[in-house]
Structure 1
Amino acid sequence: MSATVPQNETRLGVSAAIAAYTMWGLLPLFLIALRDVGADQVLVHRIIWSVPFGALIIIGRKQWPDVKQALRDPKVMIALFASSAIIALNWLIYIAAVQSQHIFEASLGYYINPLIYVLVGVLFLGEKLGRPQQVAVALAVIGVSILTVYGGKFPTISLVLAVSFTGYGYIRKLAPVGAMPGLFIETLILAPFALGYLLFFVPEAEQAFGTAPALTALLLAAGPITVLPLLCFALGARRLQLSTLGFLQFIGPTLQFLIGLIDGEPFTRAHQLCFAFIWIAAGIFAWDAIRRSRAPQPKPALQS
């Protein structure tokens, strides 16, 4: 029997993955529309409205048994408590970065995210870097160093986003729970804290929800905008090789970068040099991933 994924399934996987990364890449447009709302309130509503919308997806995909199984497993719940805290930090930093016109730094964080994954594999999983990966990491370090020294600014936002998202992905990879059930439980964990913060720490006069129909609709949309990309990603990840996903994932930060240009964010000489090195590193990384996926697999040893 061939383990090859049917062509129509592959096409569906590619379409779903492109949709996911495109939605993530266009997310700054949504956050720019909410610049008059504090990053804390945007985060709170993103969490709160993800719960009912996520529940609808869980019902539609008949995944309640997966949710119940995860809720009964203490090890899975410990992992999801940790991942929920990390993803909440990641979301808050990203929202604040976009609203304060630091979209380039946010984009940079997701360009270097795959390279951070590689370093995690080396440091914690005993993996070894191939020569192309070594070159890609070195170029990324040079790019970040140029922005730090020549630009006079350490890219804290970029590194926090990259490291936090890598940590989130690492924990979720170890936890035996699906993408949608996991996200639903994470938002369920965060929802009481989000609601409590909104009720007790945001003065009623400063609360944005309900002040204007358009603004209220945008905040309600934070739920679908959070959940739908992950659903598309889950559909794509099941049908595609990791090398294909690794190549497609650069759609997101590229769209973010273009939005930063349109938004009028200053693109300094330090940014230009930094991104040049990062783009070359990303290209080498993607090329190496595709090359590895096409390499012939070693035949299993014969049993004596």
Structure 2
Amino acid sequence: MTRTQQGIAAMIAACVLWGLSPLYYKALSHVPPLEVLSHRTLWSLVFFGIVLAVQGRLGEIGVIFRARGLLAVMLASSLLIAVNWGIFIWAIQVGRTVEASLGYYIYPLISVLLGAVLFRERLDRVQILSVALATGAVGLLTWGLGVTPWISLSLAISFVAYGVIKKQVPVGPVVSVTTEVLLLLPLALVWLWGIHMQGWSGFDGRNVAAFGDGWFNTVMLMGLGLITALPLILFSYATKRLGFATQGLLFYLNPTLQFIVAVVAFGEAVSRWHMIAFPLIWLALAIYSLNALRQERALRRASRRAGTVSATAK
């Protein structure tokens, strides 16, 4: 396989794992979301720690902790990813996977809009059209349902904000996420201690203390580390081999699978307003992605021409 083919295979694998992850969280719907989130934090740290130890890179985490400014940035990103994970887990458990998938559809377009607002990035006409279509679709959905799709917007905005902060972190994704879950670990351990030792209940009044209560619960909770870490590692591998536009196109496999799982496996209802809004968002994404792909190819051609001219001059 060529380098690009390897990247495509890794990206597809990562997105399939992300897209099918609602099946995993649904199987844990008897465990309160905060308990699931705490175990996801704990076992993600264990898995990432093993990966970094094998690679001999654990020392890179110490560099982050010695840089006060960088540590503050990492703390902010850890809180944002915890919010994102928590909302996603809760949405799956209460039967709102369709709204969760919508969040990951609109996230790249919100990212473009935020880049224009915060970083003064100029949008071309195609990007403006894409953002306008998506904004109109969300507005139509809000009007039709009579309620703001806050789950979708919360997931999209928290993930965009997380991405903005991560741009300031000069370390790789595996090291940075390991640091994030390490920073979240005290909160996770306190919550798990309260559940198991003090009988604390979640926001829904349930106390399950699932870990150790049968092999299924124990294995599934420990497996949260694997399903968190593996797609991220695959994604990191893919980003080093693929252009941004190709990554963006393949990423939409993730929310598409989430949507299919919601409708086919979970039997979630799709209203007529969803049936209007989703095609508009898909159209916006298609326009945006094809434009990005065209721009990426144009840059490659220009780069090759520049290289040819330079070689000829020599």
TM-score bracket for this pair, using the shorter chain length: over 0.9
Match of 1:178 among 151, 165, 172: 172
Deviation for aligned residue 1:43: 0.4
| Alignment of 1:272 onto 2:266 | no
| Alignment of 1:243 onto 2:245 | yes
Deviation for aligned residue 1:70: 1.9
Deviation for aligned residue 1:201: 5.2
Q: Aligned ranges for residues 206-285 of structure 1 at < 5 Å?
A: 206-262=208-264, 263-285=266-288
Residue number in structure 1 paired with 2:36: 42
Residue number in structure 1 paired with 2:204: none
Amino acid at match of 2:289: A
| Alignment of 1:100 onto 2:102 | no
Q: Aligned equivalents of 1:83 and 1:36: distance in 2?
A: 29
SS in 2 for 1:206: coil
Residue number in structure 2 paired with 1:87: 81
Deviations 1:253-293 (A, max 9, x none): 00000001111101110110110111111111111110110
Residue number in structure 2 paired with 1:292: 295
Amino acid at match of 1:210: G
Q: Aligned ranges for residues 10-21 of structure 1 at < 5 Å?
A: 10-21=4-15
SS in 2 for 1:105: helix
Could you tell me whether the CA contact under 8 Å between 1:140 and 1:281 is conserved in 2? Answer: yes
Deviations 1:100-135 (A, max 9, x none): 111111000000010011012101111111111111
Q: TM-score, normalised by structure 2?
A: 0.90
Aligned residue-pair number: 295
| Alignment of 1:155 onto 2:149 | yes
Q: Aligned equivalents of 1:61 and 1:143: distance in 2?
A: 45
Q: Aligned equivalents of 2:113 and 2:55: distance in 1?
A: 35
| Alignment of 1:134 onto 2:128 | yes
Could you tell me whether the CA contact under 8 Å between 1:76 and 1:177 is conserved in 2? Answer: no
Match of 1:29 among 10, 14, 23: 23
Q: Aligned equivalents of 2:146 and 2:219: distance in 1?
A: 40
CA RMSD, 1 decimal = 1.7
Q: Aligned equivalents of 1:230 and 1:72: distance in 2?
A: 25
- For structure 2, the residue ranges without an aligned partner over 5 or more in a row are 201-206
Q: Aligned equivalents of 1:257 and 1:153: distance in 2?
A: 20
Q: Aligned equivalents of 2:195 and 2:75: distance in 1?
A: 22
Q: Report % sequence identity.
A: 39
Deviation for aligned residue 1:62: 2.5
